[in-house]
Amino acid sequence: MDTGRKLWDKKLPGEGASVMSVNVTMTRGAVVAAAGDASVAYDMTSGKRFWADTKPSTCDAVGFAGGRDLLALVQCGNGADAEYRIQRIAPRSGEPVWTYEVTPGVQGVRIAVSNG
């Protein structure tokens, strides 16, 4: 971004994601995206894929927030019965570091991140 040159580009994995449902963030040398039912992380400099989650599941990362840490909003189920959890994710492995279970019945969960 500093030079305005494109270093790499990738086609996001997953099926059925509209452009409006793609979420992209950056954290600690990684670019992380959620698109439809899939999520993926790439090395910020080289574009090498760190990990991808493309397997169908009842729980999917529907959004990420970056900065100092990588947080994922995970949705299990759909509609009024959906349950949510917030996870801190290791950017290079995709593995959860910790998980916070949102109280059942809470709808419209969003992640706010402070880099301060």
CATH topology of domain 21-101: Thrombin, subunit H (2.40.10)
DSSP 35-76: ETTEEEEEETTT--EEEEE-S--SEEEEEEE-BSSEEEEEEE
pLDDT digits (tens, 9 = 90+) for 73-88: 999 988 888 999 999 9
What band does 64 get if pLDDT is binned at 50, 70 and 90? very high
Average pLDDT over residues 67-74: 92
Residue 20 — very low, low, confident or very high, per pLDDT cuts 50/70/90? Answer: low
